Amino acid sequence: MAIEIDKWAVETLKANCPNWNILKADITKVSTDDIISNIKNVEIDLISGGYPCQSFSYAGKKLGLNDTRGTLFFDFARFLEAIKPKMFLAENVRGLVSHDDGKTLKVMIDIFESVGYYVQYKVLNALDYGVAQKRQRVFIIGTRRDIRAEIGEDFEFPKPHGKKLTLREVLKYVKVGGRWRDFPDNIAREYMKSTYFMGSGRTGIARRLSWDEARLIVLYTPSQKQTKRCHPDEIHPFSVRENARIQSFSDSWGFKGSKTQQYKQVGNAVPVNLVKEVGLSIIRYLDKLEKVVCLAS
């Protein structure tokens, strides 16, 4: 199940993952009892999510779970306490590590531990995991204490790749001196929309200039397609699809809503290849539990 409050993010998820169970709702109003009644006797492997980095009051409080009420962290933690998945994954901005001199993160870890989890965290840079972007996020991984005891070792975060991608490698749709017709066909159709079928060459659109030609007239805005003429080595401005490539989305993953909504979805996303590596590490870790069970039986 995925719980999402944003209408257009929900539409995007439904379009790309029609078999997913997606609940459009405000998580603060979702009852854990309703979720548990649907789970029945199934043990959940993972709860994952992100919540805003918010500091909590320290005025003489012991800061149990209820002391964070009114924050989205509270709702993340109450779902953990009620459902008790084998593991959880929480991601946040790198600044959470130093927020309020580290006190905010310490409160979160203390509460996660109080509801039965062994907690590890690490700041990972997307650039190290097949993403052409220097974007750092902190990943907090919790393992239910009985699960960790059964596996007998800590979770291991993914190791950085040796190769680092560049923008050239993920954005080079158009050769120097080329234009929109050099796009892959599916990208060209999305980019050009109805003008894709017009008879003229429309050679000025998404034109990548060459060092060997004179500069075209400097236009006042890059917002219209006919003004999107690109620097020979750089692309200005980045389109939704280009931003999506920088975030390591597949070209087959579409976005719903206005351009503003699409830019928002892409920008708010965690780089796909980065979180994929963390997810694969979680799978490898839980696979060790199955091996322990097999050996024991």
Contact 108, 117 (CB under 8 A): no
Closest CA to 141 of 160, 124, 161: 124
Q: Which of 17, 53, 230, 294 is catalytic?
A: 53
Contact 222, 188 (CB under 8 A): no
How far is the C-alpha of 42 from the C-alpha of 20, rounded, in Å?
17
Among this protein's residues, is 53 annotated catalytic? yes
State the Cα–Cα distance between residues 161 and 128, nearest whole angstrom.
5
Residue entry with tokens 């979160």: 108
> Which residues fall within 8 angstroms of residue 94, CB to CB, at 6 or more apart?
123, 136, 137, 138
Instruction: Give the residue numbers annotated as catalytic, written as ranges.
Output: 53
